[in-house]
Amino acid sequence: MPGYDLRLQAALDAAESVFAEKSYGLATMRDIAAAANLSVAGLYYYLPSKQRALGMVCGRAFQALSEGLERALSEAAPPDSQLRAFVRHHVGFITVSPAAYRVLLHDMEALEGEDRVAVHEIRRRYFARAADLVIAVQQQRTSSISTRIATAALFGMMNWTPMWYRGENESDASHVALEMSTLFLRGVAAPAEEPAAIA
Amino acid sequence: MPGYDLRLQAALDAAESVFAEKSYGLATMRDIAAAANLSVAGLYYYLPSKQRALGMVCGRAFQALSEGLERALSEAAPPDSQLRAFVRHHVGFITVSPAAYRVLLHDMEALEGEDRVAVHEIRRRYFARAADLVIAVQQQRTSSISTRIATAALFGMMNWTPMWYRGENESDASHVALEMSTLFLRGVAAPAEEPAAIA
DNA sequence: GGCGTTCTAACGAGCGTTCGAACGAATTTC
DNA sequence: GAAATTCGTTCGAACGCTCGTTAGAACGCC
């Protein structure tokens, strides 16, 4: 029954946008039902509860984020290019799906039970993947900055994007990604070998 | 009546920590009352409403943040030192008052009416002050990165700190601030004049 | 006795959730 | 071929509960 799954995704879209706009605690099932063009009881045919709706929204978002990452990284080989690809993908996701990412940033802490454990595990893996890239980049250089802080700084600058980015087309987003990865790569340390020979 | 103001601050402390832990939407006045060791009605003697409590918490936090900034910047003259002082102050505030900063990051959007306008104005000024520092730093260098993105990246890496920082003493925080400002200054561009003379 | 402070108890509203009926399009029955 | 039946889907209406907020009385210190 493809019709059911299509309407489930539409219900999750509605929940996602309402959570993103009002935050989980202030959002009501009546808000979500209105956004989904359903009655409240009609909405419950697709979403078992408000709490599970949050879990499904978060799970769906992180799933898309993680799958996209593997696709993006498979196209680049050297550490610098891999890191640039990672930033491009991450910033791209944030700008293409701002509502989904707002929920992940803002409301993930409101998860409980199994959903909380599962989603946190996906996130942990995603972060670990990024940390590995930072380590690979640092190993090519004489980096004085701790990996822990460098990774955190990288995520910080990317995840702050929703607060100010108002770009429209995809080239705006990849421009942001390009400048951010440049700032990061240059900031983490000068390359071990300079382009011009020293002696 | 110094006793009143002391207990008002205690009530705001309670509200701040509950907001930080549960987020504004999920926090209840009963939670805050319990944290303040007051009955619900007793709490209302100090806080006119939940909404105004959020406004007062945010206002108090931004006030402290802004006042501390002026103090921190008055001690450093050259642009680089000023930016380093700014980062040290900002990261210091986040690590010393994590609850306050969590509320600012997370729940400020839930503000309404006059409180919203007033707090947003303080934030705008604070951000503008930081942007000026970034401009001053960039003018000393050949920076290829847009000021807008650079400023956003700087705020992003600093504001992400609460997500991972678990340091205890003040030296941990200033170490983080040092590495972050180094990453940023080095990343924004190479200095125009090298420390060693060129010709 | 007065006043600043705190309490117990309750109000009305809105919340998440559920019940039982009604819809409509297949599918079956005669 | 029309009537009856099934089943996935949607609905209006309501349940019980918790929320923010308030009234009014009691406390303790000057």
pLDDT in tens, A117-170: 999 999 999 999 999 999 999 988 888 899 999 999 999 999 999 999 997 787
Percent of chain B whose predicted confidence (pLDDT) is above 70: 94
Q: Residue B156 above 80 pLDDT?
A: yes
**Is the Cβ atom of A42 within 7 Å of strand D at any atom?**
yes
Q: Residue A191 above 60 pLDDT?
A: no
Q: Nearest-CA residue of chain B relative to A23? A: B25
Task: Give the pLDDT mean for A170-182.
Answer: 92
According to the model, what pLDDT value does residue B170 have? Answer: 79
- The tally of CA atoms less than 13 A away on the side-chain side of residue B92 is 16
Task: Give the pLDDT mean for B177-181.
Answer: 96
Write the single-letter amino acid at A148: R
**Is the Cβ atom of A26 within 7 Å of strand C at any atom?**
no
According to the model, what pLDDT value does residue B29 have? Answer: 97
Write the single-letter amino acid at A139: Q
Q: Residue B113 above 60 pLDDT?
A: yes
Give the Cα separation of B93 and B124 in Å (integer). 18
Which among A24, A160, A179 has CB closest to B145?
A179
> Phi, psi (5° rounding) for residue A159?
-75, -10
Which among B110, B152, B187 has CB closest to A160?
B152
Closest C1' nucleotide to B45's CA: C5
Strand D near-CB residues (< 7 Å), A 10-39? 38-39
Chain B residues whose CB is inside 8 A of the A180 CB are 149, 153
3-state secondary structure chain A: CHHHHHHHHHHHHHHHHHHHHHCHHHCCHHHHHHHCCCCHHHHHCCCCCHHHHHHHHHHHHHHHHHHHHHHHHCCCCCHHHHHHHHHHHHHHHHHHCHHHHHHHHHHHHHCCHHHHHHHHHHHHHHHHHHHHHHHHHHHCECCCCCHHHHHHHHHHHHHCHHHCCCCCCHHHHHHHHHHHHHHHHHHHCCECCCCCCCC
**Is the Cβ atom of B2 within 7 Å of strand C at any atom?**
no
Asked whether the beta carbons of B185 and B137 are under 8 A apart, the reply is yes
**Is the Cβ atom of B50 within 7 Å of strand D at any atom?**
yes
**Is the Cβ atom of A45 within 7 Å of strand C at any atom?**
no
According to the model, what pLDDT value does residue B190 have? Answer: 64
Asked whether the beta carbons of A66 and A86 are under 8 A apart, the reply is no
Mean pLDDT score of chain B, rounded to an integer?
91
Q: Residue B88 above 70 pLDDT?
A: yes
Mark yes or no for CB contact A145/B22 under 8 Å: no
H helix or E strand, kind and range, residue B176: helix B170-188
Judged by average pLDDT, the poorest of A149-163, B96-110, B134-148 is B134-148
Task: Give the pLDDT mean for B102-121.
Answer: 95
According to the model, what pLDDT value does residue A196 have? Answer: 42
Chain B residues whose CB is inside 8 A of the A128 CB are none
According to the model, what pLDDT value does residue A75 have? Answer: 81
According to the model, what pLDDT value does residue B1 have? Answer: 60
**Is the Cβ atom of A27 within 7 Å of strand C at any atom?**
yes
Chain A residues whose CB is inside 8 A of the B188 CB are 183, 187
Residue A22 φ/ψ region, left for φ over 0, alpha for ψ in the -120 to 50 degree band, beta for the rest = alpha
Asked whether the beta carbons of A110 and B23 are under 8 A apart, the reply is yes
Percent of chain A whose predicted confidence (pLDDT) is above 90: 80
Give the Cα separation of A20 and A98 in Å (integer). 8
Judged by average pLDDT, the poorest of A102-111, A163-172, B150-159 is A163-172
Hey, what domains does chain A have and what are their CATH numbers? Answer: 52-188 (1.10.357.10)
Give the Cα separation of A60 and A9 in Å (integer). 10
When scoring B111, B146, B157, B186 by the number of chain A Cβ atoms within 10 A, the one with the most, hence best to mutate, is B157
According to the model, what pLDDT value does residue A170 have? Answer: 79
DSSP one-letter code for B192: S
Asked whether the beta carbons of B87 and B181 are under 8 A apart, the reply is yes
According to the model, what pLDDT value does residue A14 have? Answer: 97
Percent of chain A whose predicted confidence (pLDDT) is above 70: 94
Task: Give the pLDDT mean for A98-120.
Answer: 95
Q: Residue B194 above 50 pLDDT?
A: no
Q: Separation of CA A52 and C1' D19 in angstroms? A: 22
Closest C1' nucleotide to B44's CA: D21
DSSP one-letter code for B191: B
- Give A79-98 pLDDT, tens digit per residue: 889 999 999 999 999 999 99
Burial of B5 (0-12, 13-18, 19+ CB in 10 A): exposed
DSSP 3-state assignment of B24? coil
Per the DSSP assignment, residues forming a β-bridge with A111 are none
